[in-house]
Structure 1
Amino acid sequence: MTVNLTRIYTRLGDGGETHLGDMSRVPKTDPRIEAYGTVDELNAQLGVTLAAGGLPAPYEAWLKRIQNDLFDVGADISVPEGGPRERLRVIPEQTAWLETACDEANAQLPALKSFVLPGGTLAAAQLHVCRTVCRRAERRVLACGDAVNAETVRYLNRLSDLLFILSRGVNLSAGADEPLWEPGRYR
């Protein structure tokens, strides 16, 4: 599949509407636009994470793969189910890959003794930002109702789990203390 963009501005959205992937027009406040806009924001935050450095090599490769997959997620969300043409959809194998990555990364970590506070290294803190944006993207997809591919929800749910695990792994690999919640410590 080739994408050819010859002109970036079109003026078609100047009135507050935009096209979905099936060329139907919707307001820019449509739940689908909110959903794939948040997926786009997540992808940008992953780009910041990669640019900042401090990631183990396997994590960097995984995040680059995820960035590409997130364009698949956005494409999936942008086109309502049905219609005469076959569309790009997130498939269970993409979610299964995330589960394998979760298992592989988590196997290297000590058991949790408390909730983890975002922090430690810059890379770990940025992965927590990505995790929270991912959770918001999941909520935005759910707000679209039954008219979206349920696999996108599963994918985003698993991705937020992986981002949490990677944040822990980054701190461990850097020798940083894992910041843990201490209930009532400052009461």
Structure 2
Amino acid sequence: MTVNLTRIYTKLGDGGETHLGDMSRVPKTHPRIEAYGEIDELNSHLGVLLCEPSLPAAYAPWLSRVQNDLFDLGADLSVPEPETPAERERLRVDPAQVTWLEERCDEVNATLAPLKSFVLPGGTAAAAQLHVCRTVCRRAERRAILVEDGSPEVVRYLNRLSDLLFILARGANHETGTAEPLWKPGASR
């Protein structure tokens, strides 16, 4: 599948509408646009994270794969399910992409001590940025749920990805021997 972008500005969105992948036009505030806009923001935060020197080296190829998968999610969301069989096959998120996330979750979680409290975002810079990515991912998930005929695989992917980002944040602190910041209920009372 090739994408050719010959011109970046088209002026077609100047009136507050945009095209979906099936060429239908919707307001830029449409739930589909909101959902894949949040996914785009998450992808940008992952790009920042990949520049962070404290990120464990093993995580970089995983997160690069996730970045590519996030474009798949956006493509899936950008094309509503057709009422009649489509003329051509559309890119849809595959359950195997969710399974891959689950495998990474299990792989890293097996190296971590059981939690004794809720984790506060922080520790290393990479762990803190992973938590930012996790919260943006949760927001993208909430937006994807609002897409009435959206793919359940998109929601499953985002749900599992936020779990992975949490586990990777814990792993980033563990890998560097940085103490995990934990919530101490009522500590400042």
State the TM bucket, normalised to the shorter chain.
over 0.9
C-alpha separation between the residues in 2 aligned to 1:137 and 1:103?
23
SS of the counterpart of 2:58?
helix
Q: How does 1:1-187 map to 2 (within 5 A)?
A: 1-82=1-82, 83-145=86-148, 147-187=149-189
What does the per-residue CA deviation read over 1:46-73, in whole Å, with 9 as the maximum and x for residues that have no partner? 0000012211222111000000000000
CA RMSD of aligned residues (A): 0.7
SS of the counterpart of 2:169?
helix
Q: What is the CA distance between 1:125 and its match in structure 2?
A: 0.3
Q: What is the CA distance between 1:175 and its match in structure 2?
A: 1.2
C-alpha separation between the residues in 2 aligned to 1:30 and 1:101?
33
**AA partner of residue 157 (structure 1):** N
User: Runs of 4 or more off by more than 6 Å in structure 1?
Assistant: none
Give the unaligned 5+ runs of structure 1: none
C-alpha separation between the residues in 1 aligned to 2:178 and 2:55?
13
C-alpha separation between the residues in 2 aligned to 1:25 and 1:154?
27
Q: What is the CA distance between 1:86 and its match in structure 2?
A: 1.2
Question: What is the percent sequence identity of the aligned residues?
Answer: 72
Give the unaligned 5+ runs of structure 2: none
Normalised by the length of structure 2, the TM-score is: 0.97
Normalised by the length of structure 1, the TM-score is: 0.98
* Count of aligned pairs between the two proteins: 186
